[in-house]
Amino acid sequence: MQGEDEEFDAFFRRDYAMLVRHLALLGYDVQIAKDAAQQAMTQAYERWATILDPRAWVRSVAKRMASRLWQQEALQQQRAVVAAERRDTMEPEPLDPYRQWELKEDQRAILDALRALPQRQQEVMAWSLDGFRPAEIAEHLDMAPATVRSHLRHARAALKETWNRSHGEEGCKA
């Protein structure tokens, strides 16, 4: 148990921030990303001895958690809208994926670019940016390796376009 604990701690320190980021890349806001990441990590800790690939495992679980939290929140938001309409015509704010989050320009640019991708491309790219190889991604997301590679190509192209915009303009004009 002692050894397992140390192993888990090392894993947590290495992967926690990246796991939160993974969820942010999928479009979840900071609070949901952190809550879901912690829940997934808690489950991983509870069954540490039985998990073969912890990094992949927590990503799959955390995504499910985040999606559930998001739905709960959306439902609450909906109820608020209904309640507000009864009181007066005031519109409550829609869910903002960037709420409570100060971002530098290029951070925002990358996130915007990733979040604008079709869902499957976005997911494949998020795994790839976390260091998973196409064959591994294919296995974890239950896709054909060729599909993964094609998604990656498109996602990379979109990201590159963003990079061109933020880095290219001065270069072109100069």
Partner 1 sequence: MSTDRPHARTNDTFDAWTSRTLGDIADNLVPPSEVEEALRQVKQSARRAETDERDRAKRYREQVAEQEFQESLKPLLGVLPRREKKILELLFFRKMTPAQVAQELGISQVHVSRLSARALARLGDEALVEE
Residues that bind partner 1 (CB under 8 A): 9, 12-13, 16-18, 20-21, 24, 30, 33-34, 37-38, 41-42, 45-46, 101-104, 106-107, 110-111, 129, 159-160, 163-164, 167-168, 170-171, 174
Q: Using the 8-state DSSP alphabet, how is residue 132 labeled?
A: -
The residues near 151 (Cβ < 8 Å, ≥ 6 apart) are 120, 121, 124, 125, 143
Q: Give the nearest distance from C-beta 56 to partner 1 in angstroms.
A: 18
Q: Give the residue with the Cβ less far from partner 1, 64 or 165.
A: 165
Q: Give the residue with the Cβ less far from partner 1, 42 or 78.
A: 42
Q: Using the 8-state DSSP alphabet, how is residue 47 labeled?
A: T
Q: Check if the beta carbon of residue 64 is closer than 8 Å to that of residue 28.
A: no
Q: Give the nearest distance from C-beta 114 to partner 1 in angstroms.
A: 10
3-state secondary structure of 94: coil
Q: Give the residue with the Cβ less far from partner 1, 17 or 146.
A: 17
Q: Where does the chain show beta strands of DSSP type E?
A: none
Distances (CA, A) of 57 to 37, 62, 79: 11, 8, 34
Please state, in angstroms and rounded to a whole number, the distance separating the CA atoms of residues 167 and 40. Answer: 37
Q: Give the residue with the Cβ less far from partner 1, 86 or 104.
A: 104
Q: Give the nearest distance from C-beta 84 to partner 1 in angstroms.
A: 31
Q: Give the nearest distance from C-beta 32 to partner 1 in angstroms.
A: 12
Instruction: Kindly tell me the sign of the dihedral angle through the C-alpha atoms of 71, 119, 26, 28.
Output: negative
Q: Give the residue with the Cβ less far from partner 1, 1 or 82.
A: 1
Maximal C-alpha separation, the chain: 62
Q: Give the nearest distance from C-beta 151 to partner 1 in angstroms.
A: 16
